[in-house]
Copies of this chain bind each other. A is one copy, B any other.
Amino acid sequence: MGGSDLFVGTLDVLILKAVSQGRMHGYAIGRWIRQTTKDALTVQEGALYPALHRLERKGLLEEDWGVSETGREAKYYKITATGRRRLRSEAARWKEYADAVALALAAGEA
């Protein structure tokens, strides 16, 4: 199994990161997230596809159709310049946030 629920708000930055690694189609993005987190994070398709459309609408991703490694039709995503900037800021935001939570959760430990 692996892969409990996502903390709302982290999906976008994960997607941006995945696509920043190179042109990738939706299904592969889900797989990328699962694999690079060693099965710790599993993205539901009902969250993934709406998120992709959202990011595309915001101009952070660009889409075009292509053929996957297995020879099927697939919608490929590419990160835009705006998307790359957003990735940087969101990743920084995440880091600050995670550090802050870690700080709080470590409180009281002499």
Contact = CB atoms under 8 A, between A and B. Distances in A.
A89 to B, nearest CB: 11
Contact of A41 (B18, B21, B100): B100
Contacts of A58: none
B7 A10 contact: yes
Interface stretch (A31-39, A63-71, A76-84): A31-39
Copies of this chain assembled into the complex:
2
Interface residues of A, number: 34
Interface string A79-110: 00000000000010111111111111101100
B10 A101 contact: yes
Given A13-B105, A14-B101, A95-B105, 11 more contacts: A8-B9, A13-B101, A17-B107, A18-B104, A20-B108, A36-B107, A37-B104, A40-B96, A40-B97, A91-B105, A94-B101
